[in-house]
Structure 1
Amino acid sequence: MAVFLDDFRLRERFRGEVKEVQRRKYSLLHGVSNLFILDTSESMDGEGFIQMKEAYLSMIEERMTYIGLFTIRARVILISDGRPTTLDDSDSKCDQHTEGDHSLLGSIAYESRGGKLLNPPEARAFAKYSLCMMIAAEIIGEVPSTSCSIDDVKNILLSSGPQCDITEHDVENVVEILNNRRAYEMFVYRNDDHLEHEVYSERNESLLAPGTRVRRGPNWHYRNQDSNGPGTVTGHWHREGWIYVEWDTGMRFPYEYVNDSHQENVIIPCDEPRILRRENIAVGCLVKRGPDWKWGDQDGGEGNIGAVYRVKEDAVYVRWSNGIKSNYRFGYGGKYDLAVW
């Protein structure tokens, strides 16, 4: 559903258009909302207004919803030249700006979760974004969980047959989505403390421990959230009896775990190792002491094995078989406390 913010007359016109859509029984009112903010200030007169209208009409043709394992949230789409109106602005229309203030608009996009700054000619390509999301959701299990490249995506698309409607720009968008996949997770975390509390806390020893490898169970009903592959328990959710799983695609979701009654569970433990593609280390890997280990017997003694349940830049979080959890250097300052087992 698109909301047209403008003066009273335009709002009334929009209400009439919505009623007409409902009368024709179109499905535009389902799925995620798009909130359009249209800049109708004087600096947008003339060519600027024409570009805004064309961009708006291109975008409203697209309907967004939840796509595969990606959560598509309501979007705020601002169409503006980015030039603030001041009290000193003249009524004269002779000075028209056809170029926007990219500095202001870029800062707004940067501060937004998954924000993008588009020029008018890119509006129609943006309207195809759901197609790119569908492609990304389909192939996410076949590409590295980090540093996905254009060649990675092209090779997969070529192997699946001709893609007549896929442009070079679409491929770039797919790569961008895959490399920014965490922006499309089910939940938004305010900061690292909130993330630690919700995703990585160990609350109940009767639940699967962080680092445990898992797969979908016989009672699975979450479609393709797992991309039909294995994952790793990262912690216990705040809801009693629920665990958090990071699938090998890098996507994280909470699931209920009914003790050890495997026939009732949506998640069951497995012995499948984490397969690294381009990653040096990843959640689910087994590790041992590395060349720069200096942490005594935190690991329970030399030769013991731990499981990675979180990777954060050059730090790796491990749960050892003795139950101790801590984070270690893996490339930070050129030091490696761990080695992949």
Structure 2
Amino acid sequence: MTNPADKDPIYGDAASSDAIELVVVPRTADIGGFAVRRALPTAKRRMVGPFVFMDQMGPDEIPFGEGLDVRPHPHIGLATVTYLFDGEIIHRDSTGVEATIRPGDVNWMTAGRGIAHSERSSAAFRTRSNHRTVAGLQTWVALPRTHEEVAPSFHHHDGAALPEIAGDGATVRLILGSAYGETSPVSTFTDTIYADVVLAAGGRFPVDADHEERALYIFEGEVEIAGDVFEAGRLLVLRPGDPHTVTARKPTRLMLVGGAPMDGPRHIWWNFVASSKERIEEAKADWKAGRFGKVFGDENEFMPLPD
């Protein structure tokens, strides 16, 4: 996914609870004819663990004959993580990969020293008689300085391969990292936690303190934490060091994200993430000069460098 030149998301009033450090209210933007809500980065919080970017995609009903059309665009210094609740997206990239992601699957794309990719809807999806809905999240994970220039690569993981933990009215699917005695098969470069949590009304979800930085993104529903209530469309950055318990006041879906703090700040410009401004300037010049390579199966279009 591409990062348009828009303003940071806004942040909400500080929660009265000692459990919550910051409440972020995402800002809505349009990407390739598709509505997204951006929770990270913000003016007050640039990263949570290695997560430097978070977009909620939809849920959006796509008009008949139309679809998601994110033209080929570049990335450096990060890994994109795409996870769907509904719909499908065809990924193509400059390493020669084409893959279709469906609900519950994980697409992990390591940009490293440079990759270009596109994200589009299939012809079959565009002409379905009904249920042309797409919903999910795309996050960017910043790479540590030791791996910012690794070779680009792509890995698709079927949803059936992800560990699932259930109990106390909660079902947890572990997308990245280790938690609750399980480990995701998706390889990461730093300590990372990313989980899809579905709660029945009254369900309880423990958030332990194993990871230094943690946040909860409420995709739908409503939760209570330490006596305070939070609605959907909020990123709740948790205070470090203490375990917390999340209780659902109605059927709820939320995402747990976080991990170890990064090894220094990151600069973000458009789709580029780097530990130095000079590296971003190099990436700008490379994209403008056509040095990123063509996207397999999508060679005729590209997204120009923003002015």
TM-score, normalised to structure 1, is 0.23
Which one has the largest radius of gyration?
A: 1
Relative to total residues, which structure has the larger strand share, 1 or 2? Answer: 2
TM-score, normalised to structure 2, is 0.25
With a CA cutoff of 8 Å and minimum separation of 6, indicate the structure with the bigger relative contact order.
2
Relative to total residues, which structure has the larger helix share, 1 or 2? Answer: 1
